[in-house]
Amino acid sequence: MELFLECGGRGRPAYYQAYRRRRFGTSRSEPFSRRETNASAHTKAASPVGLAIRRPPSAAALQKSAVFLLALLLCLSSPLGAQQRPSRDDAVSIAIAGEYQRAYDIFRNLLHDAPDDPLLNYYTGAACVRMNKQAEGIDYLEKAVRHEAPFPQAYQELAEAYLKKKLNSQARDVVDKGLGRYPKNQGLQKLRAKIQRLKSEG
């Protein structure tokens, strides 16, 4: 009967409590007390496990950010209000409007980047001829023909410039060369007839 006197309010006999003290060094009847359970729950709640962890950015993300920043810096470094460089089509429209000097300046600037472009040389030479700069215009037109301009107007324009300089034989050679590539071109055919007429009159 005495072994059951100290139950500790948990319905455990006294000898069991003595056994717990010898075995585990504690008189508690359960492995974890309510205080320990509450402490354990508090520790678990404070654990960082399950929280969102922010990972460092990848190399690809860093590269994209660098490219974006570089493009932004280039845009910011460009002068505000800077106008776009006139194109070849802009110069042609200006020449059609009769502003040959302005068109000539644009063509010359474009030739710095493409000095052997037959179309640019043709347009530049044609602008010179219309400003009565026959010698300079012939130089550009000859370059256009020399690089085999893929249009008959270059041969026709050069032949007419030769005729203005009284260089009828050179004009005939250019017309013949142009008709060799474009035999059905009416402009070149009319020039050939004109050159033959001038030859017969001379």
What's the whole-model pTM score?
0.59
CATH class of the domain comprising 100-201: mainly alpha
* Alpha carbons 52 and 5: distance in angstroms, whole number: 54
**pLDDT range class, residue 168, cuts 50, 70, 90:** very high
| Domain assignments of the chain as residue spans, ordered by start | 9-42, 100-201
Closest CA to 159 of 147, 173, 143: 173
Tens of pLDDT along 45-95?
444 444 444 566 666 666 666 666 666 665 555 454 346 889 989 999 999
The residue that leads in pLDDT, 61 or 159, is 159
Residues in Cβ contact with 6 at an 8 Å cutoff, skipping those fewer than 6 apart: 14, 17
| 84 membership: H or E segment, kind and range | none
Tens of pLDDT along 11-28?
555 544 555 555 555 444
| Residue 83 exposed, middle or buried by CB count within 10 Å (0-12, 13-18, 19+) | exposed
| Residue 195 exposed, middle or buried by CB count within 10 Å (0-12, 13-18, 19+) | buried
Beta strands in 7-154 (DSSP E): none
The residue that leads in pLDDT, 37 or 177, is 177
